[in-house]
């Protein structure tokens, strides 16, 4: 009897084990992505997301540059132009019947490879190639008239002419794209050296009645780059001229000793000037620097032109510089000049202009 009961219990247990438990039915997927095209370059444009949805779809974008609109099972995505160098991303949310899914629209930054640079150009001039590329159109401008630019494949060709300005110079060339600006700074050397042969035009009086032309030379001193020797006016004697970098003027020291004139007389250079009405002539033997003979200079066509500078107002506002003259005195270089020792005027150089050949 007990054995029968055991078999019955086992059968009941086996039957219980073979019964299937109920399986929960999952909720149907409300929305899924079928296809997505939301990667853009800097130019922007339109893309599309295609979905499978159980009802109407709502789409939103987290960024203003990425706009979305729904048309049936398609979500149209419009990306604005990206004027920046950095890429960007925007999350797009798609919702249907309370279920949401997320996608990310991505956009690259613009391509812009022009970069700031500095250049040093020799006095003779030359060419510089400025190369780069940009997704968007650029504008280019030279900020100085001595730098000219022409567009070439992949950039610009800058042309810098011979520097005849009389000094070193600096200018910029600027490329602009939207808010991006690239500056190229060009510095050009100027090697100031007055050495050369010149045609000196001068007059023998303040009235300019008689014009004279003389070929002279300027030679740079071997030990001092600011000192030049003027030759060709007086045979066998060179006149010291000193360039002053701070004032950019060339100076002959007043009372400059040239050399012996005869056994009893010695030659000197003294400044000449006149009244502002040109009615009277004067000269000075003062060694004060304001009485020195000053010259200005400029470059014309790559050649120096050296002109007398009107320095007389430095010591008298009613005076005008006329140039200088060679005078003979009865004192040599060991004795200070005195008006009483002046003997004669040997050569007058009025309003001289030296033009380099």
Pull the structure tokens for residue 123. Answer: 């006095």
pLDDT value for 23: 58
Is residue 87 helix, strand or coil? coil
Distance CA 244, CA 265 (A): 32
Q: What pLDDT sits at residue 222?
A: 96
CA distance 141 to 151: 11
Q: Which of 91, 51, 89 is nearest to 71 (CA)?
A: 51
pLDDT for 2: 47
Q: Which domains does the chain have, with CATH numbers?
A: 31-107 (2.60.40.10), 117-188 (2.60.40.10), 196-356 (no CATH)
178 conformational bin, left if phi > 0, alpha if psi -120 to 50, beta if neither? left
pTM, to two decimals: 0.61
* Tens digit of each residue's pLDDT, the chain (357 residues): 445 445 555 555 555 555 556 655 567 899 999 999 999 999 999 999 999 999 999 999 999 999 999 999 999 999 999 999 999 999 999 999 999 999 999 999 999 999 999 999 999 999 999 999 999 999 999 999 999 999 999 999 999 999 988 789 999 999 999 999 999 999 999 888 999 999 999 999 888 989 999 999 999 999 999 999 999 998 888 999 999 988 989 999 999 999 999 999 999 999 999 998 888 889 999 989 999 999 999 988 889 999 999 999 999 999 999 999 999 999 888 888 999 999 999 999 999 999 999
Per the listing, tokens 């729904």 go with 70
């Amino acid at each position: 009897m007990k054995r029968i009961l055991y078999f019955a219990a086992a059968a009941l247990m086996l039957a219980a084990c073979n019964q299937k438990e109920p399986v929960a039915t999952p909720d149907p997927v409300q929305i899924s992505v079928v296809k997505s095209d939301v990667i853009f370059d800097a130019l922007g444009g339109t893309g599309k997301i295609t979905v499978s949805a159980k009802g109407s779809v709502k789409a939103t974008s987290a960024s203003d540059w990425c706009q979305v609109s729904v048309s049936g099972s398609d979500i149209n995505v419009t990306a604005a132009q990206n004027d920046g160098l950095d890429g960007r991303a925007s999350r797009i949310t798609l919702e249907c019947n309370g279920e949401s899914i997320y996608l990310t629209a991505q956009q690259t930054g613009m391509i812009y490879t022009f970069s700031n640079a500095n250049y040093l150009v020799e006095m003779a001039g030359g060419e510089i190639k400025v190369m780069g590329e940009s997704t968007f159109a650029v504008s280019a401008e030279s900020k100085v008239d001595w730098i000219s630019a022409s567009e070439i494949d992949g950039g610009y060709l800058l042309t810098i002419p011979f520097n005849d300005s009389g000094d070193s110079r600096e200018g910029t060339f600027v490329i602009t794209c939207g808010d991006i600006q690239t500056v190229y700074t060009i510095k050009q050397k100027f090697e100031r050296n007055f050495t050369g042969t010149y045609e000196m035009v001068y007059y023998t009086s303040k009235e300019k009645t008689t014009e004279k032309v003389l070929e002279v030379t300027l030679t740079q001193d071997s030990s001092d780059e600011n000192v030049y020797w003027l030759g060709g006016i007086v045979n066998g004697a060179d006149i010291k001229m000193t360039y002053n970098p701070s004032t950019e003027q060339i100076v002959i020291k007043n009372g400059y000793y040239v050399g012996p004139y005869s056994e009893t007389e010695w030659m000197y250079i003294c400044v000449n000037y006149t009244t502002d009405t040109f009615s009277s002539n004067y000269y000075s033997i003062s060694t004060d620097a304001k009485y020195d003979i000053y010259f200005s200079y400029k470059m014309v066509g790559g050649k120096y032109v050296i002109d007398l500078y009107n320095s007389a107002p430095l010591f008298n506002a009613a005076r005008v510089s006329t140039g200088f003259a060679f005078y003979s005195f009865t004192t040599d270089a060991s004795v200070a000049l005195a008006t009483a020792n002046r003997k004669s005027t040997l050569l007058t150089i009025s309003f001289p202009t030296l033009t380099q050949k």
